[in-house]
Amino acid sequence: MDREDRFNLLDRLEELRKSKVLVYFAYTPLDDSILIPLYRQLKEIGHTQKIDLLLHSYGGAVDTPFKVVSLIREFCHEFAVIVPFAAKSAASMVVLGADEVVMGPISELGPIDPLVKHPVYKDVWVPVQAVRYCFDYLQRSMSNSKDPEVSSFIFTPLLQKIDPWLIGDYEKTLKASRQYAEALLTRYMLREDLRSIPSVVESLTEGYFSHGYPIGRREAKELGIKVIEADDELWDVIWKLYLGYEELFQKEGTE
């Protein structure tokens, strides 16, 4: 699929959705580097009634989604996210700041488990929940051990190597993810159903053990998220666009 084909599909998607469509398609972690290019695109569009963000991302930094939502909403009255395949973790938080999310049969959201950079391996991003589970495992192992002295001998050196500042930073990130989720739902997605917000936040931040757990459109609806099910031509256009951008990324990776 060439550039003209993708643009034709985007034009058709805008016709079907009666919106202006932006695209964020990436396999690298979502972070603040998106903000300036996003602002430039929004300035070109100008203030408009409705903006859709076609979003494919496996997550990223905890602060970025709130900034993305706030920036887009400076330029529109209505904001929706279109998920052709995956909008996980921090990308799912962007969804919470929309008025609705458009999902197809294969679309996935995910638990809100933001990524942080590894303190030593700078190119490695770690889900913050993994740190919590590590401490839970060590605590259970020591508590359940038949020989506490042996357990202490094994685990104490490991605990001593962990920087307290780092532990605090991870815990702060977990609390921030809850705070952002609550704020976005309160202001946007569930502003007319405030009683549901605590259960949605609890489910997305604490209810799943796998960082990659797939929350499909039916489960998203059950959680309380406002889902528009894409079918027929609308879904065909969305899926073709996903395949077009996937093909583009594969070509760029081989050149």
**What is the Cα–Cα distance from 73 to 242, expressed in whole angstroms?**
24
**What is the Cα–Cα distance from 62 to 125, expressed in whole angstroms?**
12
pLDDT at 114: 67
**C-alpha pair distances (Å), 205 with each of 102, 110, 198, 209:** 22, 10, 11, 10
Say if CB 62 and CB 176 are below 8 A apart: yes
4-18, 169-183, 198-212: range with lowest mean pLDDT: 169-183
Q: Is the pLDDT of residue 254 over 50?
A: no
Q: Is the pLDDT of residue 238 over 90?
A: yes
pLDDT at 118: 58
What phi-psi label fits residue 18: left (phi over 0), alpha (psi between -120 and 50 degrees) or beta?
Answer: left
* Axis-axis angle for helices 148-160, 128-144 (nearest 10): 160
pLDDT digits (tens, 9 = 90+) for 79-113: 999 999 999 999 999 999 999 999 999 999 999 87
| Greatest mean pLDDT range, 121-130, 154-163, 176-185 | 176-185
pLDDT-derived band at 208, boundaries 50, 70, 90: confident
Q: Is the pLDDT of residue 236 over 60?
A: yes
Report the share of the chain in percent with pLDDT over 70. 76
Q: Is the pLDDT of residue 157 over 80?
A: no
Q: Which residue has the higher pLDDT, 170 or 43?
A: 43
Q: Going from the N-terminus, what domains does the chain have, and what CATH number goes with each?
A: 3-115+168-254 (3.90.226.10)
* Residue range 238-245: mean pLDDT, rounded: 97
Measured in whole angstroms, the distance separating CA 25 from the mean position of its chain's CA atoms is 12
pLDDT digits (tens, 9 = 90+) for 40-78: 999 999 999 999 999 999 998 889 999 999 999 999 999
In the chain, where does DSSP find H-type helix? 3-17, 35-45, 64-73, 90-96, 128-144, 148-160, 164-184, 197-206, 217-223, 232-254
**What is the Cα–Cα distance from 87 to 227, expressed in whole angstroms?**
14
In the chain the first and final C-alpha atoms are separated, in Å, by: 16
Question: In terms of C-beta density within 10 A (0-12 exposed, 13-18 middle, 19 or more buried), how is residue 46 classed?
Answer: exposed
Mean pLDDT of the chain: 87
Collapsing DSSP to helix, strand or coil, 188 comes out as helix
Q: Which residue has the higher pLDDT, 189 or 143?
A: 189
Q: Is the pLDDT of residue 163 over 60?
A: no
What phi-psi label fits residue 140: left (phi over 0), alpha (psi between -120 and 50 degrees) or beta?
Answer: alpha
Q: Which residue has the higher pLDDT, 163 or 195?
A: 195
**What is the Cα–Cα distance from 110 to 167, expressed in whole angstroms?**
24
87 closest CA partner among 73, 71, 104: 104
- The 10 Å Cβ neighbour count of residue 225 is 25
